[in-house]
Chain A
């Protein structure tokens, strides 16, 4: 038994099966991220005035990641073109670059996550709030050390963009003065919940795409010798997915970093 149109295009649709499949899959992905983005809109619109964070992200790292992904989109395209003109060495080079970009992106993402999770908002018994990166949190000691500042109004912590030159210094806080201490994880507020969920899901997509590309680059390349056209189709289909994942980031970056 042979299933028709696995390699060559069906004349009346002009597409091979997998290309129809991947576009349908991407349509469903649009709805998945669409559901999450609609959640973003509803929660942001419903937030209390002044309580939606601005400027909480590391813009430098975010920009680098955007560029890294944009580069990977180009190399993915070039890899497919190399397959089309049957230059397998070029394909190997370009898709190695794609994988490198993906790895870089994920590493930077981890650094960003670490920055958030190491950042603490500490409510003190005197009613003020200490806020900053944890420097020392040794359970045997009766105090902790953070690098940050003390504010009286919580709203000051939310809009960081309008405050220039925030002065940060090392603060030693006795544990007896701590009323409540919470890191900037997804539990901290809805913005961070959305941030971790959206970027986490996106990172999972990057990971999934990388696994597929790594497979094609590694053990999957056996097919190149047997059936280069089918192999090229596989590269194209995985490339379509990769471009979609890049596109999601193009929406995530302004929505989470710039506004």
Chain B
């Protein structure tokens, strides 16, 4: 028990009043003798749910990485059997999908669609928002739990079911969804597999999960802040989670509407997204027609773009906490950060059609969305600038979380800046749907967001387990990941600018100069041998990137029992989550903390430590000021 908590004045004695006959007694009984199931599987405790989300999401991230490795093999060696596990693919997925261990184009498409879906909806959002948000936010604001613990549990269960549905879809006849993670209609409805149906049902479950989570987060942050925790005293991480929750709350439902309509197209043979005269496989489709493929794209990207900020904002919040903690000085421009994240939240709702410049939706609309897209880069730059300036003059402590946080800044910077040519509709015409796009958004999400998330795992691990992860293996994990991430994604900028399109099962071999020259004089040019040969280093970079995660996985499990034991506040942090026992008990705080100051009071002059916890009272000791002036 941290003694500091005890000595601060309690605002509420939880046991003496309020706990009479208010219908909570059933709650008390449930925890008298908690068994395995109610402690670890069906627990309403936000910390357990956070860890459940975290472990599930990390597993899905690894699964998504594996899909990517298979795709990279197919791109570098089109038509060749996958080494080592080719027989396994054939056995599991059937002879039509993986004949003799070769990834068929259909399977490649399924892997592509599911890689995106899994990484975004089953990996990063649950990890960044649900896992860290669940574990850290209530602790940071001094709340005993989320506002609706059982809704929280339902949220995880819906997510788990959604993931299960997505996973099972690989093994049905015809395979998983093959129309890309964007599932554009009419393609999505025309491909003869029930994988799309599984995709839609999985998405509806995942959207439900996000909805329940988002309502819970916002209500928790509005209602359960500890006394004294004013809005401007909240750690910035909580702000990012707050805005993220709003984005999920308001941007996801239109996709749910679209998913319902696509479900109707699939099941009830409506034509919401199917235009008149649609031909499938050379025959006129037997549909009523009159639908609008653009409608799907609008509804999808109305989610899709806020989703980008759902992916990035929590990672930014994590980086901000770690930067402040490890520079041992207040974050620079806290208010600017808050206003910037508010601005992003609003603007992200009105930039979606910059994904659709090539659809012919009209120049006026393109111009509008080009303008808003340029405007939204301003708050993003403000955030990055604040974090960079925070480093200035700090006595920086280098540890694994800080390494990942520091790498986040330039990596996200590359991702952000390479997005500008895509935001202008003129340059987008050339770059649209090429590997340039892949490189751009992976720089934002992979060495950007995922590095932020790794930083968070290393940073809060001691709070969850009472032990630190190994610094040495953390360093190995970091440096290898940084190197191989760049080997994988940097060449794609060049490939994309050379005109290599994404989503090609043969990695563009059919459009290479080599194949074209064989066709005779009719076709000139094509992808140069230099561009095609980049596939090989990317493949090896990807394989090494996969191997580089092994130290992390081992470190993660090994440190649970063998890591260095640490106290309640190993990073000497100011925020409230470190002012509780480790790991925090059910209910988090022995006595609800009272907050006296902002979140980043590091190196305050005159204070005996270089950090001042948020719940430390203002007046140091009542005796000190009473001392009269020294007598002469």
Residues of A within 8 A of B (CB): 1-7, 10, 13, 15-18, 20-21, 24-25, 27-29, 31-36, 38-39, 42-43, 46-48, 51, 185-190, 193, 196-197, 201, 223, 226-227, 230
B284 within 8 A of A: no
User: Which B residue sits closest to A30, measured CB to CB?
Assistant: B253
Residues from chain B with a CB closer than 8 A to the CB of A16 are 223
Alpha-carbon distance between A191 and B148 when the two chains are bound, in angstroms? 40
A28 x B249 contact (CB < 8 A): yes
B292 x A197 contact (CB < 8 A): no
**Which stretch (B22-30, B83-91, B596-604, B610-618) binds chain A?**
B22-30
User: Which A residue sits closest to B21, measured CB to CB?
Assistant: A226
Q: Given A38-B299, A187-B287, A190-B270, 11 more contacts at CB 8 Å?
A: A1-B14, A1-B587, A4-B224, A10-B223, A21-B148, A31-B249, A31-B252, A39-B261, A46-B290, A187-B269, A188-B288
Minimum CB–CB distance from A196 to chain B (whole Å) comes to: 7
B256 x A35 contact (CB < 8 A): yes
A197 x B270 contact (CB < 8 A): yes
Minimum CB–CB distance from A111 to chain B (whole Å) comes to: 20
A20 x B586 contact (CB < 8 A): no
B362 within 8 A of A: no
A3 x B264 contact (CB < 8 A): no
Residue among B255, B268, B294 having the largest count of chain A Cβ atoms under 10 Å: B268
User: Which B residue sits closest to A15, measured CB to CB?
Assistant: B223
Minimum CB–CB distance from B6 to chain A (whole Å) comes to: 18
Minimum CB–CB distance from A32 to chain B (whole Å) comes to: 4
Residues from chain A with a CB closer than 8 A to the CB of B216 are 21
Q: List 22 A-B contacts (CB under 8 A).
A: A1-B14, A2-B22, A2-B24, A3-B143, A3-B145, A5-B223, A17-B147, A18-B148, A20-B147, A27-B250, A28-B211, A28-B215, A29-B253, A31-B251, A32-B257, A35-B255, A36-B257, A36-B261, A38-B299, A42-B298, A43-B295, A193-B268
Minimum CB–CB distance from B388 to chain A (whole Å) comes to: 35
Which single member of B214, B261, B268, B587 contacts A24 (CB below 8 Å)? B214
A28 x B272 contact (CB < 8 A): no
B99 within 8 A of A: no
Minimum CB–CB distance from B502 to chain A (whole Å) comes to: 27
A1 x B144 contact (CB < 8 A): yes
| CB contact list, B249-296 vs A, under 8 A | 249-258, 260-261, 264, 268-272, 287-288, 290-292, 294-295
Residues from chain A with a CB closer than 8 A to the CB of B250 are 27-28, 31
B254 x A24 contact (CB < 8 A): no
A35 x B258 contact (CB < 8 A): yes
B254 x A185 contact (CB < 8 A): no
B145 x A46 contact (CB < 8 A): no
- Chain A interface secondary structure, helix, strand, loop or mixed? helix
Alpha-carbon distance between A16 and B257 when the two chains are bound, in angstroms? 30
B219 within 8 A of A: yes
Alpha-carbon distance between A201 and B261 when the two chains are bound, in angstroms? 11
B252 x A20 contact (CB < 8 A): no
Residues from chain A with a CB closer than 8 A to the CB of B254 are 31-32, 34-35, 38
Residues from chain B with a CB closer than 8 A to the CB of A5 are 147, 223-224
Alpha-carbon distance between A36 and B22 when the two chains are bound, in angstroms? 41
A17 x B214 contact (CB < 8 A): no
Alpha-carbon distance between A15 and B261 when the two chains are bound, in angstroms? 36
User: Which B residue sits closest to A197, measured CB to CB?
Assistant: B264
Residues from chain A with a CB closer than 8 A to the CB of B252 are 28, 31
A3 x B215 contact (CB < 8 A): no
A42 x B290 contact (CB < 8 A): no
User: Which A residue sits closest to B221, measured CB to CB?
Assistant: A20
B222 within 8 A of A: yes
Contact with A along B234-252 (1 / 0, CB 8 A): 0000000000000001111
Known: A3-B149, A39-B299. A193 touches B23 (CB 8 A): no
Residues from chain B with a CB closer than 8 A to the CB of A51 are 290
B18 within 8 A of A: yes
B253 x A2 contact (CB < 8 A): no
Contact with A along B363-385 (1 / 0, CB 8 A): 00000000000000000000000
Which single member of B148, B222, B268 contacts A187 (CB below 8 Å)? B268
Residues from chain A with a CB closer than 8 A to the CB of B256 are 32, 35
User: Which B residue sits closest to A185, measured CB to CB?
Assistant: B268
User: Which B residue sits closest to A17, measured CB to CB?
Assistant: B147
B218 within 8 A of A: yes
A39 x B253 contact (CB < 8 A): no
A25 x B215 contact (CB < 8 A): yes
Which single member of A31, A39, A188 contacts B295 (CB below 8 Å)? A39
Alpha-carbon distance between A189 and B276 when the two chains are bound, in angstroms? 11
Which single member of A24, A39, A230 contacts B257 (CB below 8 Å)? A39
Which single member of A1, A25, A189 contacts B27 (CB below 8 Å)? A1
Minimum CB–CB distance from A200 to chain B (whole Å) comes to: 9
A17 x B268 contact (CB < 8 A): no
Residues from chain A with a CB closer than 8 A to the CB of B251 are 31
